[in-house]
Structure 1
Amino acid sequence: MAATHTQIFLTGATGKLLPYFHYIHYNVDFILIPGYIGGTILTRLLSHPKFNTFKITVLVRDQAKAKRLETLNITAEVGSHSDLARLEELASNADVVFAAANCDDLEAAQAINKGLKKRKEATGNLPILIHTSGTAVVCDDAAGMTGSEIIYSDANPIQIESLASTQPHREVDLSIVDAGIKGYLRSYIVLPSTVWGLASGPLVDMKLQNPHSQQIPGMIKIGLARGQGATIGQGRNLWPNVEINELGDLYMLLFDAALSNPSVPHGREGYYFGAADEHVLSDIYETVSKELYGNGVGKGVEPTLLTRDEAIKFFGNEWLATKVMGGNSRCRADQPRQLLGWKPEKGTSDMVDSIKAEVEVILARVHETT
């Protein structure tokens, strides 16, 4: 980079609660602040060996959060993801943008793309965009009733390009790849899978980061709300998984590689699946139900079928339940492993074991506030 310091702009470190699972309540809304992945990225940047060469800017929604974040030697700008002009302006001042907020917000993505185009025109250097998508992009319509033999590789751009633009997250991904093809930026799209584990670090301690993921805590909250653990279909569909800290490793490996080596695959070849292992969804449903029952929630240890009306109630629409949670999302993280040296060690058995702690933490928070 031409500048003395690397200018980094990050979205999604804290912010507005995303729609996924946000309507699930059990006497109290016990999701504190979103930013599970974005907060983990920021935590890693704060402890990065080259932190003193970074100038980090994050977008937050209120002045109180901004003041607390600035004690960590970063710049916190007050605004929202819906303020497109502000997003464009902040991106135009950045050498690197980590986009870790709403991966389905096309207008926000386009604003960031426009800002990075301005950065390229002003400096002559190609800025870097590391965008957070998700492996739901490869989901089928199994509705929890069957597995699949189709496995996507992030080293196979032709296979990824075969995905319909109507797939989850795909419209935004395509807009970012297109901006790279037009020469505005170098795009790297990270696609986390079922991310699990409790986040930790200074942002969690300061109550600026949500420590919980979405899928497993979401099913816990559904179980609490309906008084019984739930299953979507028969839970036969397959999803990959990754532990939150090992996902943080992937982001930093990619960040370092993108800064040091412009030939690292980007654009249409720049997909990186955050997938360490694979599980059958029934593993999650059964364990959540068992742990809830052990804590006095439910009439039995076995999960019961989530009805169509419940799917609409808890997910906002039936499609999120059947297409995303009920779909097969099978993929291999070939590029992270082969090109970046990513070596995740935790897998499905560790994920299943972690559910007990998730249930206990969520129940404790409920009991503290009721």
Structure 2
Amino acid sequence: MASKTSIFLTGATGYIGGAVLARLLNHPSVDTFAITALVRNPEKAKILESQFGVKAVVGNHHESDKVESLAEGAHVVLNLAEADNVPFMKAILRGLRKRHDKLGDLPILIHTSGAGELADDARGEYVSNVIYDDLNVEQYKSIPETAVHRNVDLLVINADVEGYARTYIVPPTTVYDIVQHPLVEAGVSNPRSIQIPTMIEAALARKQAGVVGKGKAVSSDVHIDDVADLYIVLYDAIVANPEKVGHGWEGIYFGENGEHSWYQISKAIGEAMVALGISTDPEPPSFTTEEMVKYFGSEQWGWYCGANTRCRGNRARALGWKPKYTTEVMVKSIRREVEEISKKPPRQPPFWPGIPPENH
């Protein structure tokens, strides 16, 4: 009997991670996978094991020895969780290096970054004509080391350069819509994204939609189902013919299938709030500096929702990725997001993940 492919997956309880895991569990080769997931919640770990056949290790990303050991035990690592945790990524890479040194294996690391690394300082005031193409390696190399996510991305790429792992990076753009799959239905995975729901919560808190600056900046976007499919297309291509799949500096795969202005999002939120009787004016006035600090956690994170982050995912399409959802679908999806979030008890700001209310 052939040995199974060992896969270590992070982010199983998250938005993208859950969607990718759901696809792996429905993959034609699922019987050949031995999937291990690292999760914080013991109850969710039990559900993963009892209902989905996933080996679930209870722990967190700060337990470096545990992370290192799990990475060492896997031929494939899918990091679908944190994009900015340097110690966490270093632990994964130590594990992959040990595996390579001990077994002679060339492990695979597919890392989730984010298009935030492309963000400029437009503050909603203008549209940039800079569009990043993931086939343009020199353009990607020109991104400043100080850009968000960049410190971790460079660690990942360096592992490939040093030759102890084959690395691939997927930077999703604005991911949208409420996702549906068995892991969400079982209460394991988060069904919502970050950016648009954050804008919605800020709008509900101020009783009117808001926009950063004039909302003129443009960002690429991608539906959650399309970006989850990208990971599977990439994985399948690596398994089928690894020498024909770009890796390292040539292993960047932007997830995008359209563009929107930030004003479009804010106006759609405003129109939904009027339709639901929450507001009387669909037009989104600019957030004040004080509001950005209050709702987003800092002025910096507020400006992030007014940045140009434009890119083209041509490398993924060359592998056979065929995204089908357009920006029009994104705009239409906002009404349902507003409706569902408005039914929930309001949270205390700031609404950007990872910034606790007590800090403000």
Aligned residue for 1:56? 35
Distance 2:152 2:337 in 1: 31
What is the deviation of 1:313?
1.6
Asked if 1:341 is matched to 2:320, the reply is yes
Cα offsets for 1:220-260 (capped at 9, x unmatched):
11111222111001110010111111111111000111122
Q: Select the residue among 213, 219, 232 that pairs with 1:252.
A: 232
Whole-Å separation in 2 of the counterparts to 1:205 and 1:268: 38
Question: Per-residue CA shift, 1:252-280, capped at 9, x if unaligned?
Answer: 00011112222210001100000111111
Match of 1:314 in 2: 295
RMSD between aligned residues: 1.4
Equivalent residue in structure 2 for 1:124, among 87, 104, 123: 104
In structure 2, the partner of 1:29 is none
Equivalent residue for 2:151?
171
Q: Is the 8 A contact 1:228 1:303 kept in 2?
A: yes
Report the Cα distance in structure 2 between the residues aligned to 1:190 and 1:126, rounded to whole angstroms: 20
Query: Conserved in 2, the CA contact under 8 Å of 1:113 and 1:184?
Result: no
2:195 aligned with 1:215: yes
Superposed, which structure 2 residues align to 1:14-93 within 5 Å?
Answer: 14=13, 35-71=14-50, 72-93=52-73
- Distance in 1 (CA, whole Å) between partners of 2:29 and 2:102 is 25
For the pair 1:189 / 2:146, whether they are aligned, the reply is no
CA distance in 2 between counterparts of 1:118 and 1:262 reads 21
Question: What is residue 136 of structure 2 aligned with on the other side?
Answer: 156
Name the counterpart of 1:24: none
In structure 2, what is the Cα distance between the partners aligned to 1:327 and 1:3? 49
Matched residues in 1 for 2:131 and 2:91: separation?
33
The answer to whether 1:200 aligns with 2:180 is yes
Aligned to 2:261: 280
Q: Name the residue aligned to 1:289.
A: 270
What residue ranges of structure 2 are gaps of 5+ in the alignment?
A: 347-360
Contact 1:239–1:281 (CA under 8 A) maintained in structure 2:
yes
Letter in 1 for 2:127: G
2:223 is aligned, of 220, 230, 243, to 243
Separation in structure 2 between the aligned mates of residue 175 and residue 37 of structure 1, nearest angstrom: 22
User: Partner of 1:256: helix, strand, or coil?
Assistant: helix
Matched, 1:109 2:108: no
1:127 CA displacement: 0.4
Q: Which shows bigger deviation, 288-297 or 182-191?
A: 288-297
2:306 aligned with 1:326, yes or no? yes
Between 1:257-266 and 1:50-59, the stretch displaced more is 257-266
Paired position in structure 2 for 1:11: 10
Which residue type is aligned with residue 213 of structure 1?
A: S
Query: What is the one-letter code of the residue matched to 2:338?
Result: V
Cα distance between partner residues in 2 of 1:310 and 1:175: 35
- Count of aligned residue pairs for this structure pair: 344
* CA distance in structure 1 between the aligned counterparts of 2:191 and 2:338, rounded to whole angstroms: 13
Q: Aligned equivalents of 1:217 and 1:3: distance in 2? A: 45
Could you tell me which residue of structure 1 aligns to residue 75 of structure 2?
95
Question: What's the CA shift for 1:44?
Answer: 0.6
Give yes or no for contact 2:20–2:229 (8 Å, CA) kept in 1.
no
From 327, 331, 335, the counterpart of 1:356: 335
Query: Distance in 1 between the 2:172 and 2:96 partners?
Result: 24
**Amino acid across the alignment from 2:344:** R
TM-score (norm 2): 0.93
Amino acid corresponding to residue 262 of structure 1 in structure 2: P
* Aligned equivalents of 1:80, 1:293: Cα separation in 2: 42
Measure how far apart 1:299 and its partner are: 4.3
The percentage of counterpart residues that share the same residue type is 45
Work out the CA distance in 2 between the residues paired with 1:313 and 1:121. 49
- What is the rounded CA distance, in whole Å, between the counterparts of 2:296 and 2:160 in structure 1? 33
Residue 9 to residue 220, structure 1, CA distance change in 2 (3 Å): same
SS at match of 2:254: strand
The answer on whether the counterparts of 2:36 and 2:55 sit within 8 Å (CA) in structure 1 is yes
Specify which structure has the bigger relative contact order, considering alpha-carbon pairs within 8 angstroms and separated by 6 or more residues: 1
Q: What is the match of residue 31 of structure 1?
A: none
For 2:118, the equivalent position in structure 1 comes to 138
CA distance in 1, matches of 2:93, 2:141: 20
In 1, the alpha carbon distance for the partners of 2:124 and 2:222 equals 20
Distance between the aligned counterparts of 2:94 and 2:222, measured in 1?
32
Once the 2 structures are TM-superposed, how far is the Cα of residue 359 of structure 1 from its aligned partner? Answer: 1.3
**Which among 127, 134, 155 is matched to residue 147 of structure 1?**
127
**CA distance in structure 2 between the partners assigned to 1:313 and 1:109 by the alignment:** 31
Q: Tell me if the contact between 1:13 and 1:100 (Cα under 8 Å) persists in the aligned partners.
A: yes
Deviation of 1:3 after TM superposition, in Å, equals 6.8
Q: Is the 8 A contact 1:286 1:303 kept in 2?
A: yes
Deviation of 1:297 after TM superposition, in Å, equals 2.2
